[in-house]
Chains A and B, each alone.
Chain A
C-alpha cells in the first residue's frame, strides 16, 4: 500500500510534496474551484492546476468579516484560507461563476488579497448552442490570458497531449469505481475520497502512475464490507473523509457517488479524435451537469439512477451544505423521485468542515440504515 500511503499524504497537506517539487523547478501553480474549468489548458501550459479547498478550517473569523453567515461554509472556509495566506503558494487562480457563494468568494478574495493572476471564466447556466459558443469564447479568452500573463504558448498539440493524460486519469478513476461496485468493495468511502482529493492537487501523470499502483496493490477486499449496507452519496462538494467515515461507521459502505469532485467530475471521457479543442469544449460544457444548469434535472436524476444500478445501491444519502440552494433544491426533487422509484433516500443538511455536526449526522444515518434493514 505504498502508493496509497503517498496519496494519503498528498491529500492531507495543502502544499504537498509534489507541489513543492513542482515549484522548486520554477514552474507555476494555478488554483481553481469548479469542475467546469478545463484543467487541460493549464496542463498544456506546463502549469499545475490545483483545486482550491477549505479543508482544515475551524475558525472563519477573517472570512466572516466579508462573506456572511448565509454564505455556505465551503466558500467561507476557502476564503479564510486565502486570507490567512495558506494559498500564497499559488501563482494565480481561475474562478467559475459556479454559484452565488463561490463567485462572491472570488470578489472578496480579489478585493482583499488578490493573486497576481486572477481570472473569471463565466459559464452559461443552461446547455444550448449559443451557450456552448459563449463558453468556447470564454475558454479561448482564458487560454489567451494564461499565455499573456505567464509568457507561454499553448499549442493544439500540447492541448491534445494534455487531453490524453486527463482521459487516462478518468479511465483509471472509473476502474477504481469499478472496484467500489464489487460485492465486497475493494475500497472504503474515505479511501476513495482520499484518492480523489489527491487527484486534483498534484500533477496528473504522477497521479496516474500512483493510481495504477494502487489498483494493482489492492487485491484484498475489505473485511466485513459484504454485510454493510451499500449506499450512494450525492450533493454539495465533498472532500471530507470524516463525513463519509461517519456514515460507514454506522454500518454502511459507500459504493457510489454523484459529486463534482467524484464521479461527475470524471465519468464523461473526452473524444480524442478530430478537433481536440472543440472536443474539450464539448466535454466540459456538457459533462454531468451541476444543479446550476437549469433544465438539466432529468439528466442529474438519470445519472444517479445509473450509478445506483451499476453499484447495486440499497440507499441514497443526499447531502447539501447549509445555504447551498442549488443542491438543496435538487435534493428535494431527487428524494421525491428516488423514493417514488423505490429507493430509500435520506436528505441531510450539513456544514462544511472537520466533523462539523457529526453527532446529529450519525444519529440520522443510523436511523436511515435501520429503515433499510427493516
Chain B
C-alpha cells in the first residue's frame, strides 16, 4: 500500500470501531448528540440512526460492527501475517477459504461498506468507468474496481467466481479484474438446470477449485479444520433459520435492520465463531422481542418482500420503511436461505459435497441460472417465500446491471 494514501480498509475499521460499542443509555436527544448528528451528512445520519435508535437494534449492530472491525483488520493485516486474500462475489461461500486459512473478501460487501468512507463511493464508481469499465456493469462490484484503480486497496492474491451463468456482469467483472490487475482467477461454471446431474457437475468443478486453492495457497485441506468450519457454518445456519421462523409471526418481531447484518455476516463470515456470535445475539434479541410483543412500530401495516436484491446502498431505508409506513421488511432475494443445507460433517467427502450444495443454492445462483419458471427457480422460490412468510406484497428492485431479472420481471410479476 502506498504510504501517501490512507487505505480504505483502515478508515472502514475506524468507523466500525466507533459504532461497535454504542451504550445502552445513549441519549439521542441530548444536546451533544444532536450536534453530532447534525454534523453528519444526511445519508450517514440515517444509516447511523438505523443502527442506534432502537435499543434492540443497537445490541445487534454492536455485535455486528465489533465483528466487522475485527474482520477487516484481519484483511488489512493479511499480507504482513503471510496470509492469502481471495476476492469472491456474493455467490461464493466463504467456508472453504477459512478451512484453507485464506481470507475471503466479498467484493459486493466491500463496495457497500466503502460507502461509509468520508468521501463516499461515487468517485470510485466513476473512476472504474473512466478507466474503461462499462457504466452498465454492476456498481456493487464497480466500487471495488474503483478502489483498486485508486490504489486504496491492496490487490488480492486470487479471485474466485462461484457461479458463471447466473449473472453476466457478476462473472465478467472477475475476468476484467484478473486481466486488468494481473490476478489469477478461478471460475466455477453453474449449469442451467437444478437437478442431480447439475449438482454433480457443479460439485466436480468445486473439487477442482479446492485442489487449485491448495496448490496456490500451499495449504493442504485439513479434515479437522474443515469440520470445525463446517460445524460453525451449520450453527450459524441453524440460528438464522430460527430467526426466519420468528419472521413468520404476524406481526413480525424481527427488526428490518437485521436483514442487513444477516447478509454481511453470511457472505463474509460463515464458518467462523464471529458469525455464530452475531446470529446468536440477533436471535436473543428477536426472541426477547417476540416475548414482549415488540414489532415494527407503530404497527405492522405491510409485510414487504423484495423479489430480487434489497436496498443495501442506503443504510437508512429500512428504518424509514419501518417508521414512515409500518413496513415490515421480511426478506429480499439475497437473504433467501431456506434451502441452504446443513452440511453433513461425517467425512471430507460429505463436507465438500455439502459446501458445493450450499453454493449451488445460494441466492441468485439458485434462482437465476436457468429459465425463470423452471423448478427451483425464481418464480417458484418467490411464491414459496411469499406463502411461507405471509408477505402482502412483492417489490422489484433491479440495478441496471441486472439484465437477467429485468428481462423477465414482468413475466414474474404477472405470475406472482
- Taking Cβ atoms with an 8 Å cutoff, the residues of A that contact B are 65-68, 70-72, 75, 97, 99-101, 103-108, 110-111, 120, 122, 124-126, 128, 130-131, 134, 291-292, 294-295, 297, 320, 322-323, 325-326, 328-330, 332-333, 335-336, 349
B406-A71 in contact (CB<8A): yes
Other than the given A100-B167, A105-B407, A107-B408, 4 more pairs (CB < 8 A) read A75-B407, A122-B193, A294-B185, A336-B132
Residues of A within 8 A of B193 (CB): 122
Contact B201 A134 (CB under 8 A): yes
A-B contact pairs, 24 of them (CB 8 A): A65-B410, A67-B407, A68-B406, A68-B407, A99-B168, A104-B372, A105-B407, A108-B408, A108-B411, A122-B370, A124-B189, A125-B187, A126-B189, A128-B205, A130-B205, A295-B187, A297-B179, A325-B136, A325-B137, A326-B172, A329-B137, A329-B173, A329-B176, A330-B172
A260 to chain B, nearest CB (A): 15
Residue of B with least CB distance to A111: B411
Partner of A322, one of B136, B175, B371: B136
- Asked if A131 and B189 make an inter-chain contact with CB atoms under 8 angstroms apart, the answer reads yes
Q: Which residues does chain B contribute within 8 Å of A72, judged by CB atoms?
A: 403
Highest count of chain A CB atoms <10 Å: which of B133, B192, B193: B192
Instruction: Provide the residues of chain A in CB contact with B173, threshold 8 Å.
Output: 329
- B: number of interface residues (CB 8 Å): 47
* Contact residues in B for A103 (Cβ distance below 8 Å): 371, 404, 407
- B81 in the interface (beta carbon within 8 A): no
Partner of A332, one of B134, B165, B192: B134
Cβ contact within 8 Å between B403 and A70: yes
Taking a contact as CB atoms under 8 Å apart, the answer to whether A295 and B371 are in contact is: no
Asked whether A335 lies within 8 Å of B132 as measured between CB atoms, the reply is: yes
The 0/1 profile, CB within 8 Å of A marked 1, for residues 103-134 of chain B is 00000000000000000000000000000111
> Would you call B171 an interface residue if the criterion is a C-beta within 8 Å of the partner chain's C-beta atoms?
yes
Q: Which B residues, 138 to 165, have Cβ-Cβ distances below 8 Å to chain A?
A: 161, 164-165
Shortest CB distance B182–A (Å): 12
- Contact A104–B404 (Cβ < 8 Å): yes
Task: Give the Cβ gap from A119 to chain B, nearest Cβ, in Å.
Answer: 12
CB distance from B143 to the nearest CB of A (A): 16
B198-213 contact mask (Cβ, 8 Å, vs A): 1 or 0: 0001001100100000
Distance in Å: Cβ of A111 to nearest Cβ of chain B: 5
Q: How far is the CA of A105 from the CA of B132 in the complex (A)?
A: 28
Judged by a CB distance under 8 angstroms, whether B292 is at the interface is no
B134 close to A126 (CB less than 8 A): no
Chain B nearest CB: distance from A338 CB in Å? Answer: 12
- When C-beta atoms are compared, the residue in chain B nearest to A104 turns out to be B407
Are A294's CB and B136's CB within 8 A?
A: no
Task: Verify B168–A66 contact, CB threshold 8 A.
Answer: no
CB B289 to nearest CB in A, in angstroms, measures 39
The 9 A-B residue pairs with the shortest CB-CB distance, nearest first, are: A104-B407, A332-B132, A122-B192, A125-B164, A328-B134, A100-B404, A68-B406, A100-B403, A294-B187
